[in-house]
Each structure stands twice: as structure tokens, then as C-alpha cells.
Chain A
């Protein structure tokens, strides 16, 4: 409406409203859409993240893992949104000719690139395939073979003739360019005469059909037959012909073999029973016929008859067939069985009667005869014994050759002729040795090599030459091996012999006989056997020493039923059986002997003390907690809870030398008075810690008045502390303070859980020669010091304020002590503060390791030792007692 008014107004003004100028729009509403076509500039810079990869059709081909996973699969492989669906059965009845029921091919899953690639590949394959011209390859053969299944020979031949000739291969083309033709041989041309000779004809024999003109020309060389070696793909034996029977293949029955030798006729029409088989009618793919045949590279039809050389029986086979077919024909009608029946179609009646198997009647078995293989074996044994007894004669047969050779040696001949014998070369080193030495060596050798049996047991092999090398098994090895793994359990005979061998060697003097040479066993075999035994004895003996306890050998090696190899030999059985029985009995005895008393007791049912073993067992602390049981207080050393004195004690010499040491050390009167045997501590000595002699010197002198101390050391505020401390000490020795005030230096806060001090740490005798400092975790230290301090206090209170310092304990090994602290050592008022500091140290550095305080005896020793010694022992120039004394002196 407004626009109408405006138009009108404009019209009034004389402006043409329809003109373009008037319609010009200067108003711009909204944002313009991007141009439909993108800029053509393909070289435009696109940031990397915007770049896309597209194929030739403009499809996106690379997808992100999160966005394009499915798409990638969709586009690249399967081609349907549902993914790949397995083929379902579709009845071919409804849609017969469609492609759908065709099985899926790999091509169905290929994209363009793959297809082109495949096509390229196929081209390449085609080139290759054309190389074999008449399909001599296996491929082609198999194809044809397949074809032959459904097509008969005639249709195949028709096909072959109708189909266009295959394209020449590259090689054939080159050859053709060089002048070669199909059917010719390759090579320089030859004359007619050469050619005739090559074909096996006599060129000099005149024949009427020889053309004079022919002699003037040069001919192509004779075609070389291409021999196709057939691949063996079956599992028949070499030379076996699947079509032939045994007789035929051996050439025994000529008629039968001829029958099968002839080529088979291809079935089909056009060949009646009365027709002669032609070349064409033969089954080309008769397997058995191909075998003997040679193929030409080119089976050209237009070749001259004479040049057509057939190396095979193709045409000849046809002729044979013709002959063979001849007698076959009457069989259909004429020959009948004796009863007038005709044989089945295709069968003929053999003229030869079937060979009867020769049968022999079973010999008559005497009625009283029973099978007794033993007899046979005994005979055998007797024979072998005879052989043994007559050990010289049999060798005469075996050594006949040697004897014959040796028979007339040069020496013998010379002797016969009466020649003077030549001085023969010395054979061995023995000839240079004196007689005496030789004898000695022989004795040694005999005693060394011969098994002990040879001397006292003349049984089986009197004529035995001593085995060349018999390894000797040490008695202990044999003894061990007897209990070890038995390697020959599968062969009881051998096992028995092995055990016998081991027994013989385990106790050589006991008279057990080692296994002797078996009858019928040569010396070498025997030596080898013995060698084997020795080796296995060395190998299978159980581990000795520390490792022995870790293994137990299986009592029974279960190898299933033991099967004796070879024929049943009843003669051998009883001996071996007895042997093994003996062995078993012996073993049993040994076991009984070795049986532990508890096993014995258990077997007898005498349960009780014999079968019970009691030992300590440390349950885990947590376990006790979970079970609600108090942890048993065992003597098993525990690194944290057990005081150092206990652990330290066993490290040094035992309790026995303690007395000696105490006796020897003079001047420890008081300590001796209490006695090293005194195991209990009372209030009087409890503060002495583990150190009896400690503080003796301190006790001997009179303590100066307190004001002197105060005048020298104490500051004003400390004074009050000290006083308080003393007051406290008197009454609260045993009760733990609820909270040790941070500034209150009164009493070091003792751990309420701290165990009472061990009561057995009195005698701390230290062998100075063997002493070495040990380290304990620092965490355990404060407790100890605390304890000691408590004791200290106790003593102080009881003794009425005698100043005793036990700082020695802590400082003995503490190298971190400062001089200032040493100076203040004797002052009780200083103690709590130091203590606290120590506590703090202990708390802070629980994991640090500090030197363990010296055993108290060491600290005590310096009292009795010279100062030099002391300094050596404690490793500190300023030993604690000395420092103390100095402080006194100082005052």
C-alpha cells in the first residue's frame, strides 16, 4: 500500500516508475548465500585439515576413524548399508536364468581399481597361456580332461577342428619370421641325403618313387619330438599300471595283457562292434595310452606322410586293436560254459584253468605232544655252550680268509726255502722294555682292567679276551647310583645286570659278582654294555650334599606294563626273575633300615611321642590380632621388640667364657660381688643397666655440693627446672606422665607400651679381639635410652641423689656429640632436654641407620683398661669416663 502511494507520488513528480532506475533496489536483507559453484581455482590454498581426498568420481575415500569407519567399510568393501549378507538359498526353479543364483565371484567385491588390476593380470596370464601351443601344459590337459567327461571324443574333435587356431606365441612368431614352418625342425637346412639318413632310410637304395628333383633341394631338419614327461600325481608304485592286472603287468599272460594294452575305444556312436576302429575313434584321453606316447610339438596334417613320424603306438595301437578285436568278437556268441550258459556280455571264458593253490596236509601231531618252547631254547643254549667250549674251531671257519691269506706268508715261504729270516722290524714298544718291566705292566693292566670276577670266577668266559676298556665306577658313585634313577626299567634284564654291576662296584670286597658276559655277546658288546652302565651310574646318581634334601626320587617309575622285547625266552626268565627278586628284597631291607623311627612308630600304630614333633611357630602379628589372641612371647629374635642386649649376646662368645673373663678382670670387685651368675636385678642395681662396673669410679668419690654445680653450670631458669625434676623423680618414677609438656623438662615421656627390660642381660662379656660394632635401626634406640633413663631416675631416687650419668650409653658410639654437650653431661637438668632432642631425632630419622650402642661391657671396660686401650676400643679419644672425670676435676 505504501509502495502504491509512493509510486503515485513518484508518478506525480514525473518519474517513470516502470523504468529500471526507479526499480533499483538498494536494500540488502540477510547474508548472501555462497555461490553455488565454488571457485574454479583448484590450486587454491586449503588448510591441511580442510583437505579431502577424493577419487576420480569425486567420492570421499578417506574417512576419519570416528566419522567414516562405517562409511569406509560401506564404500570400499561391501557395498550395502546392511553390510555383507551371506548368500541365501534361492530356488533356481523360479528365476532360472538370472545372474542372481550364480555364485558370488571375487569380482563382485571389487571396485574399479581392483577390476582394472585384475584385468591387467588376466592379460598377462593370457600371454602366458598362449605360449603352449597345443595345450601341453597341465592346465590345458586338465581342462580337456574335464571336457572329456561330458563330451565324447567326436564332439571334442569337431570342436577342435571348428575352433579357430590358437594364436601363435611370441616364440612361434619369431621362429616363423625366421622361416620356420609348422612341422619342421629347428636348425639349418639339410640335404635330401642327410634327411633320408635322419629318417632312417637308406638314401642309396633306389626306389621308384624318388623324385630326382627332390634330391636337389635343401630340406628343413627333422622335427624333434617333444617328450612330455608326465607328472606323477597318484600314489601308485613306480611301474604300476592301474589298468593292468598283476599278470598283465608282468607280461605273463600275453592275451590278457594284450587286451588291456590295446587302446580303449571311445564310446559313442558310429563304432559298432563289427567296425574296425579308426584312428579317430580312439579315445584320445585314454589315460593308460597317453603314458607311452610321444607328442609332436606340432601335429600338422599337411606334412608329408614320410615325415610324419609317430614314435608312439597310436596308429600301431590301432592296428593292434584291430587284431585284438578279432578274437573278441566270437566270444560274444560262440563260447559257452560247459552247462550251456553264455557268459555275461563283455566277458570271455578263459581257456586256461584257474591255477589251484597247493595245499599240504597238516602233519599229524603226536597225541602226547605238548608245546615246550623251553626245549628249543635249551637246545639253543646247549649249542651256544658247545660253541663256547669249542671256541677255537668255529673261528677257523670265520677266519678262514685270514688264515688263507696268512697261510703262506713270505716268512713261511722263506722258511720253507731255507732262507735266513730277515731281521723283522720291532712291532711295539714292549720289545724295548725289559722282561721284568713287561711283566709288571701286564700285572698292572690286568688288575686295572679285569673286573674282579675274572680272578675268582671262572664261569662263563674262560677264553675271553679282556675287554679293551672297562670303565671303573667308584664305590661311592655306585652306591649313590643304586638309590638314584634307574634308567633301564623298561628292560628288566638289563636293569638286573645294571643293578648287579652297581652292587659289585659299590662294595668291591663283598664278593658280589658283576654281570658277566652274556652267552652270544661279543667282547665289544659286553665292553660297551659295561661302559653304558658306568656312564649311567655317573649320570643318574642322585644329587649329593646340600641339594640332596631338596629332591626325592620317585619310588616307582611308572612306565606302564613292562614289555619284554623279542621272542619269549623262558630260559632267561628264571635267572633274571630271581635276580630282580633279590634286588627288590635288598631294596626293601634297605628301606626298612632307613625308615625313620616315626614312620616305624606310625606303622606300628604307636602314635604319640614318637610321631609328634613340636617346634616353635611364629604367627604373624596381624593373625593374632584377627584371632583375638595375644601374640605368643617367643624367643625368636624380633628386630624391633627384642632389646639389643639379647641379640648382641649370641654374637659374641657364649656364657661360658664370661666367668673366666670376669675372673681375669681385676678390680671389678663390686661387679663380682653381685656375681656374674646373679640373674636378677633389684632396685639397687637396676640402674646399672647391663653394665656392672659402670659408674664405679663415680661412686667412689664424694659428690660436691649442689651449689657448686649451680654456680658453675646452671642458669637461673634451669635451677627451678632441676628442682622440680628432682621432686618429680621421687614419686613418679613408675607412672607414665600423661602428657609431657613441651617445655617441661621434667621427665622424658616414656612409652607406656615399653616392655620391661630383659632380665638376662647381665653378663656382657666381650671378646675384644672379635668385637665389631653392629648397627641397629635408630628407631629402636630412643626406647632403650628412655628405659635406661627411667631406671636411672629410679636409682637416683633410691640412692638419694647420687649423680650418675648414663650418657655413656648413648654417647659411646655417638659421634655427633658436640663438645658443649660433653661439657654439660653430668648435669641432670640437661638430660630431659637432650632426651627430647634425641627423641626428635629418632622420630625424624627413623629410617636412618646409626651405629648401635656398644655393648655395655665395652663401655664398662675402659674403667679397667688403660686409657690407650680404651681409646682404641671405643674409637674415641675422649672416652666417656674420662670426660666425666675431667668434669669433676674441672670442678
Chain B
């Protein structure tokens, strides 16, 4: 319907199912660069490195004592950070498979962890409603700074060159602008589960627990578009941009992957989308380069790799 604008249909053909996890998979993330690999973390306290093309598990990282809730891969793919129920953030060496640093300081489970562009600073958002910024260069144990503005658990973080975006259950998306030295807190009204800015930084995609995904203008905080239809009321689901940010993709709690056109907010066909996971889809991530690949992780214990039929 929208090929004229170049918005391509979503990759909906199941390519591989990665099902070595026992229990829910909380997060699945592409590696950086060409993104040939995928890292997933789940309730079974392990982090697994996959080759999504072949569907094979390459490595298993085990050090967490509790569930793994978040993973962030460094720019050079040599290390990644993970966090979860054990209130500390682990920084891993990918090849050695061991943790190089364990950053303890949070008072609750760490919901989200994010590395900055050159992996010198690590931001972690926790159930204790703080965001802690850790220095990965120096061996100092204390965080560089603690952002304590959130009134409830921090669910999502995004760190780019000059801003840190934190979405919290208290219904706010807080943008910490380092250059301006200002904090812009946008009140969404509903618990925020994911907040992803577009690559140019002008818009922000926010999914909230009232079954809405909203697109905001970052400069004014105005609502540009709202994407509805899916069911998202109680779990952390992640909405992301599709290829070239022409679409918005979000997995919902019924196990269906929804896709909308970014501009006119219509649901892309099929509408309603088929149920592809047995349980809630916890993470949706589109391949950073490849227009026809996408991964989803679900509470049914599987990670699914989607591609265009070919």
C-alpha cells in the first residue's frame, strides 16, 4: 500500500527460531557494525550469542545470578554490558566470555543498560528509579553521576552523542541534554516501556502501557503520531522503527507483531497481524542495515528471526 513512499512491507517470514533459552527471553539485540550476530538474555540467567542466519548458538555467557533484563553491545563488538535482577551491571568480554567489570550500586534490579557511542560511559536504569552513569575508562567504582529525577522505575534508556533519554514508569520521558545542560521531562501519562529517537534525533518513539506507541517531536514535545491497535498493558514491550524509519514495529502482549506506517499511522497489512509467538513479545528489534530482517524475543522462550521470503 505504501511502496510508493518506499515503506516496505515488514519481514514476516520466519527464518529461524532460536529456542535454547529456558524460560522467557527478555531481550534480544543485534551486534553493532554489520550486525551478523544476535545476543539474547532471558529468565534462565544466561546470555546467548547466536548466528541468526544459521540459527545456531555460538556462545553462552553465564555469570548472572538472576534474570537478564537488558543487553547493550559496544560499538566495536568486543564487549557488551548486561544487567538484570542481580542489581549490578556486568561488562563482558565477548571472546573470553567472562565479565570484565561488575558495577554494583543500584538498589533494585537493573532494567536497562546502555553504552554510549564509544563505550566509555555506561548508563544503567533501575527499579530503584535512578539512572547511574558509569565510567568505563577509569577503574573508579562509584558512578560518575546519578540521575535521580525519576519517581519510579526506569524502564528504558537511550544514550547518543549528546543526550541521555530515560523513560520511566512514572510516565515521564526525560531527556538529559549534556550540551545545553538542561533536562527536558515530557509527561506521557502512562508508564513508558521504550523510548527510541529516530536517527536524526528529531523524533522520539515512545511506547506506553496504554497500548499506544507515540511519536513525539523532540524539540517541542508535541505529539506527531499515535499508533494503536495492539495490546500492551502490563509488560515491557519495545517498539522500534522499521527499515529506514519508514515504519514503526512493535510486538504486543498477544504475540503478534504490529507494523504501522510512520506517517499516516495506518496498520500495515495484515491487519490484525497473525499471532506468531505464544506469549508476550518482550523485545522487537529491526536489523540496523538489512531492510529485510528483524528479531523478536518472547516470553515463550524463543527468539525468532524474520526475513522476507526469498
Contacts and interface: CB of A to CB of B under 8 A. Distances in A.
A618 B183 CA distance: 9
A845 interface: no
Interface string B154-178: 0000000110000000010000111
B178 A629 contact: yes
B248 interface: no
B114 to A, nearest CB: 13
Most buried by B among A599, A614, A615, A632: A614
A623 B189 contact: no
Contact of B116 (A618, A619, A626, A634): A626
B182 A629 contact: no
A396 B162 CA distance: 89
Contact of B221 (A599, A611, A619, A626): A611
Contacts of A617: 176-177, 181-183
A314 B23 CA distance: 73
Interface in A711-752: none
Interface string A813-851: 000000000000000000000000000000000000000
B187 interface: yes
Given A602-B171, A626-B144, A609 B178 contact: no
Contacts of B222: 607-608
B183 A616 contact: yes
Interface residues of A, number: 32
Given A602-B171, A605-B226, A626-B121, A619 B186 contact: no
Most buried by B among A607, A620, A630, A634: A607
B135 interface: yes
A630 B189 CA distance: 33
Contacts of A258: none
Nearest to A599: B189
Contacts of B188: 602, 607, 611
Interface in B108-122: 116, 120-121
A620 B120 CA distance: 14
A632 B185 contact: no
B180 interface: yes
B218 to A, nearest CB: 10
A627 B178 contact: yes
A607 B223 contact: yes
Given A602-B171, A623-B145, A632-B180, A611 B135 contact: no
A828 B46 CA distance: 74
Given A611-B221, A622-B135, A626-B121, A598 B187 contact: yes
Nearest to B121: A626
Interface string A581-610: 000000000000000001101110111110
Contact of B184 (A614, A618, A631): A614
Interface in B239-268: none
Contacts of A609: 220-221
Contact of B179 (A598, A611, A632): A632
Given A607-B216, A607-B222, A627 B183 contact: no
A602 B182 contact: no
B38 to A, nearest CB: 28
B161 A627 contact: yes
Given A607-B223, A632-B181, A622 B189 contact: no
A611 B133 contact: no
A611 B182 CA distance: 16
Contacts of A633: 181
A620 B144 contact: yes
Contacts of A611: 186-189, 221
Given A607-B216, A607-B222, A630 B179 contact: yes
Contacts of B182: 614-617, 632
B223 A623 contact: no
A56 B189 CA distance: 87
A613 interface: yes
A612 interface: yes
A632 B178 contact: yes
Contacts of B133: 620, 623
Contacts of A614: 182-185
A349 interface: no
A602 B161 CA distance: 29
Most buried by A among B137, B176, B185: B185
B187 to A, nearest CB: 4
B135 A607 contact: no
B221 A612 contact: yes
Contacts of B180: 632
Contact of A626 (B120, B179, B187): B120
Contacts of B161: 627-629
Contacts of B171: 602
A624 interface: yes
B133 to A, nearest CB: 6
A605 B179 contact: no
B223 A608 contact: yes
Nearest to A603: B189
A613 B178 contact: no
Contacts of A612: 184-187, 220-221
Interface string B127-157: 0000001010100000011000000000000
A568 to B, nearest CB: 34
Interface in A621-657: 622-624, 626-634
A613 B172 CA distance: 10
B137 A626 contact: yes
Interface string B189-203: 100000000000000
B221 A608 contact: yes
Interface in B93-121: 116, 120-121
B187 A623 contact: no
Interface string B69-98: 000000000000000000000000000000
B177 A626 contact: no
A598 B171 CA distance: 11
Contacts of B223: 605-608
A620 to B, nearest CB: 4
A765 B162 CA distance: 41
Given A602-B171, A619-B176, A627 B162 contact: yes
Contacts of B177: 617
Contacts of B178: 619, 623-624, 627, 629, 632
A628 B118 CA distance: 10
Given A607-B221, A626-B120, A629-B179, A620 B145 contact: yes
Given A599-B187, A611-B221, A619 B121 contact: no
A113 to B, nearest CB: 49
Contacts of A605: 223, 226
A838 B50 CA distance: 65
Contacts of B185: 612-615
A450 to B, nearest CB: 46
A457 to B, nearest CB: 43
Contacts of A627: 116, 120-121, 161-162, 178
A632 B145 CA distance: 16
Contacts of A608: 220-223
A195 B179 CA distance: 119
B81 to A, nearest CB: 15
A607 B116 contact: no
Given A602-B171, A607-B223, A623 B144 contact: yes
Given A615-B183, A632-B178, A626 B162 contact: no
A153 B186 CA distance: 94
The 7 closest A-B pairs by CB, nearest first: A632-B181, A602-B189, A612-B221, A617-B183, A607-B223, A620-B145, A608-B222
Given A609-B221, A614-B184, 7 more contacts: A607-B186, A611-B188, A612-B221, A614-B183, A620-B144, A620-B145, A632-B182
22 contacts: A605-B223, A605-B226, A607-B188, A607-B214, A607-B223, A609-B221, A611-B187, A611-B188, A612-B184, A612-B185, A612-B187, A613-B185, A614-B184, A617-B176, A617-B177, A617-B181, A620-B145, A623-B133, A623-B178, A626-B121, A627-B116, A632-B181
